[in-house]
Amino acid sequence: MALGTAAILTFPLLYVTYSALTGDLSLIPRLWATRLPELLTNTISLALGVSITTLTLGVSTAWVITRYQFWGRAFWDWSFVLPLAIPSFVLAYIYSYLLDTAGPVEQAWQWLTHSDARIPSPYGFMGALVVMTLNTFPYVYLLARAAFQNFNLSFEEAAQATGATRWETFFRVSLPLIRPALVASMFLVILYVVSDFGAVSLLRFQTFTYAIYQQITGRFDYQSASLLSLLLVAFALIFLFAERWFRTQSRFYQTSGRVRTATPKPCSWTKAIGINLAFLFIFSAAFGLPVLLLIQWTFAAWTSGELESSLGRYIWNSLFLSAIAATAALALGTPLAYLASRIPTRFHLACLQGAYIGYVLPGPVAALALLMVFTNTLPFLYGTILVLILAYVVHYLPAGLQAMESALQQVNPNLEDAARNLGAKRIRTFTQITFPLVRKGFSAAWLLMFLLCMKELPATLLLRPIGFDTLAVRIWLEASEELYQLAAPPALLIVLFTIPAVFLLSKKNWQAD
Amino acid sequence: MIPSFSLPLTFILLCFGMLGVPDLYAGESVVVYSGRAERLIKPVLDHFQQTTGTTVQLLTAGSTELVNRLRAEGAQSPADVFITNEAGALEMARHLHLLQPITLPSVATTIPTQFRAPDNSWIGLSGRIWIVVYNTNMVDPSTIHSLLDLATPSWKGKLAIPNASSEYLQAGASMVLAAKGEKTADAFLQGIRDNAGNEVYGKNRQIVDAVAKGKVAVGLVNHYYIFRHLDTDPQAPVAPLITDQDNDGIGAIMNVAGIGLTAHAKHRSAANELITFLMSLTGQEMFASINKEYPVNPSIQADPVLPPSSSFRASTIPLTRLAELREPIIQTIERLGLR
């Protein structure tokens, strides 16, 4: 069973490997001489840049929220999760509008300074950095907040009692202690940045995934695309193993005594104003301003009668697809996660690791692999949403798998053993004992996958059946034409539909075990 | 909660999903792959659907992306016709054997030869000219005769151009290359690169904007952007200028949006019906005027705000050359370091 699931999930990769290595191999040195150095520098610098900025932003916001009591804290506490509801390409198109030549920001700047000065173009590294940071810092925030909340104060007190200053305590005790959470969130952020397609292509910043998409769509060079993908997968695998290794290395244990967690302490009103202003700025940049713009554009489209009548169908398509895909992914992921945690043979663990590959295989490449295989072997299924769902599952199951794994790890196997000793079969044990216990973790996994599917773009663009557009596709089509007003209604709808999922997710205690 | 139903639910929904195969529609239908913005093509297709009763199924995506999709799908492709905004993609599809000749007799009589494939596997429907936009307060139009004039040092700091990834820049430079040879094309690209300096824009709209504001005196754009700007601001000091009309000149650089019949079209008669409609008087007028373009059928009048097509001479270089020159010109543009 595990093998079957893992086979489905890794099969696009196998196909990609096959097509990369069966073609003309002289392509490798040629790619190395031309595209690779630039792509490598761009991808790595963007990943590093976004890591640094999201860490700074995420940890500092989480720290302030968990340690200080101030007016507005309850609001900020949940509002920093909201940016996750905005797809990266929506944020990108909003920022390309705002920061464009003769755009609102430049005009405001010129008016303020009475000059003709042009602001830096949003296209390229800076734009990508800003957009990706604003879009992904909530991951760091969520994990860091959970870590700070479950943090044992005794360590800090010990440090301060032995004469460490507050800064020293923060950097040498507090931060290292939440390292697992930081590493886990970096992992999420970097994978997100590396596999993002929509934002970097709207902002024209050449990363691996964007170059791969261009090779496929601009030149139909599937072999180059495959080779680039393989490289990307190789990097990601190194990264994946590094993260796993790091997790096993860095466990911190409670030595003795009880855990005392921090209670937020009140702060002066000047500080409170400062905090509120800083938070307002971050929140406006990442969520407030974009959503206001979307509302304004939607309203403009509505009053000018440009609102599409078929929006309802796009909503249904998006919800329907995402729900099935999330459910299917959950069904496929359960045996993988279960077997790997309960019968951790090498084989089962390898199957589990194999499933994670889907996350790093660029969406467009996996999608095209599916397209070619289905048209060649099962043509009657091609053009149905089944292929699209499979693409979603391959790409997003890993995101949910992590939550499923940790939920299963938290169930004490003794309970299952007891049930089995009493004569229950494995399946029955799972449905009656394990499943009720992991329901929450599994719900979170489902929500996460649902959310990601709602925002999915490249695979949907390539594999959607004719006449089956989703909200994300509509946004993309209109935004690439710079028809901001027409792109706004579907964008606003995606945000509205994903907010509940994001909100539920934020309620979960995101502890990186 | 949700997951306890996961397996049965997945199964049911999957069965449901498999019903969503495209061929559910009763009666005649035609499947259109389109790289032209939906707002420019949908009204025309809707009109066709209403008048003929033939259902149109539309898939919109990037032109090159669709070429690749057609290629990957091969004989399984559901597409009957392929509509794009530029001839290059159609010609590319033809080279990849993704199209088949349109055998309608009216093709030869309505579409000038330079605007269709040699074997008629694609035909142009509407034309746009790559044109000079100038600020009427700053420029005497009689001083510009050719696009090549804009590459002379006298326009330094006064010119706005599209960026290197613009298909229009690529197509325009290809035409110069085809008409005047490599040396002239290189000099032209270098000249406009130096003259434009920082005035390089991602969008045609921004170039017209910059000219209207007097930031620069002239720019290179597709003609309809000028009229779009004048639509919203009739007083703006911008005007179009059609160049290269001398006897030895290239002629106005015209590219077309067009339609091709796919090699594996499953609804041949419906596809032919659609193509016939698009070549007809109504079809031509609708298709072109929605974007203020020129109908390719010379006997049909363009939107009256445009300079009439009889008032200028379009380049006679066949558009098929665009596809051949695409790679070389991209390399030249990259080599010369245009932004």
In a domain, A263, yes or no: no
**B85 shares contact with chain A (CB less than 8 Å):** no
DSSP state for residue A174 in the 8-state scheme: I
Nearest residue of B to residue A203, measured between CA atoms? B202
Nearest to B76 among A375, A435, A464 (CB): A375
Confidence at residue A259, expressed as pLDDT on a 0 to 100 scale: 64
A265: confidence class by pLDDT, cuts 50, 70, 90: confident
CA gap B111, B318 in Å, rounded: 12
Q: Does B157 touch chain A (CB under 8 A)?
A: no
| A96-154 pLDDT tens trace | 888 876 678 888 888 888 877 777 778 788 889 999 999 999 989 988 888 888 777 77
Residue A105, pLDDT score: 84
Residues of A in contact with B233 (CB under 8 A): none
CA distance B44 to B280: 12
Q: Please, what sign has the CA dihedral across residues A456, A462, A464, A469?
A: positive
Reference B41, options B267, B209, B302, B257; nearest CA is: B257
Distance between first and last Cα of chain A: 27
User: What CATH number does the domain containing A220 carry?
Assistant: 1.10.3720.10
Residue A438 binned pLDDT confidence (cut-offs 50, 70, 90):
confident
Do the chains contact at B18 and A381, CB–CB below 8 Å? yes
Distance (Å, rounded) from C-alpha A431 to C-alpha A210?
Answer: 43
Which SS3 state, helix, strand or coil, does residue A290 take?
helix
- When CB atoms are compared, the residue of A102, A375, A477 closest to B206 is A102
Give the residue from chain B lying closest to A445, CA to CA. B3
Total number of domains constituting chain A? 1
Residue A30 lies in a domain: yes
Residues in B closer than 8 angstroms to A466, CB to CB, are 22, 31, 57-59, 78
- Residues A20-36, mean pLDDT to the nearest whole number: 75
CATH architecture, range B27-127+255-310: 3-Layer(aba) Sandwich (3.40)
CA distance A315 to chain B (A): 16
| A407 falls within a domain | yes
Preferred mutation among A466, A469, A475, A476 to probe B, highest tally of B CBs within 10 A:
A466
Binary contact (A327, B39; C-beta < 8 A): no
Residue of A nearest to B39 (CA): A478
> Average pLDDT, stretch A61-85?
90
What Å distances lie between residue A183 and A143, A170, A173, A188, A480, CA to CA? 10, 17, 16, 9, 35
Interchain contact, B39 vs A465, CB within 8 Å:
no
Q: What pLDDT is stored for residue A96 in this prediction?
A: 85
Rounding to the nearest 10 degrees, give the CA dihedral for residues B102, B108, B110, B111: 70
Q: What distance in Å separates the CA atoms of residue B173 and residue B332, rounded to the nearest whole number? A: 10
User: Does residue A257 fall inside a structural domain?
Assistant: no
Instruction: Please report the pLDDT score of residue A478 as a whole number.
Output: 85
For chains A and B, count residue pairs whose Cβ atoms are closer than 8 Å: 115
Note the pLDDT tens digit of each residue in B133-170: 999 999 999 999 999 999 999 999 999 998 877 778 88
- Chain A residues whose CB is inside 8 A of the B9 CB are 327
In A212-293, the DSSP E strands lie at 265-266
Does any domain span residue A336? yes
pLDDT of residue A372 exceeding 90, the answer is no
pTM, two decimals, is 0.81
Q: What is the ipTM score, two decimals?
A: 0.75
Residue A256 lies in a domain: no
Residues in chain B within 8 Å Cβ distance of A102: 206, 209-210, 213
The answer, for B49 touching chain A at a CB cutoff of 8 Å, is: no
A29-43, A263-277, A318-332, B107-121: least confidently modelled range = A29-43
SS3 assignment, position B82 = strand
CB–CB contact B74 A375 (8 Å): yes
The answer to whether residue A295 sits within a structural domain is yes
Most confident of A33-42, A367-376, B145-154: B145-154
Q: Do B205 and A477 touch (CB under 8 A)?
A: no
- Topology classification of domain B128-253+323-335: D-Maltodextrin-Binding Protein; domain 2 (3.40.190)
**Contact (CB<8Å) A102/B203:** no
pLDDT of residue A415: 83
Q: Quote the domain boundaries for residue A188.
A: 2-250+268-507
Residue A262 lies in a domain: no
Residue-wise pLDDT for B67-108, tens only, equals: 888 988 888 899 999 999 888 889 889 999 999 999 999 999
Chain A neighbors of B1, CB-CB under 8 A: 439, 443
**CATH 3.40.190.10 domain range(s) in chain B:** 27-127+255-310, 128-253+323-335
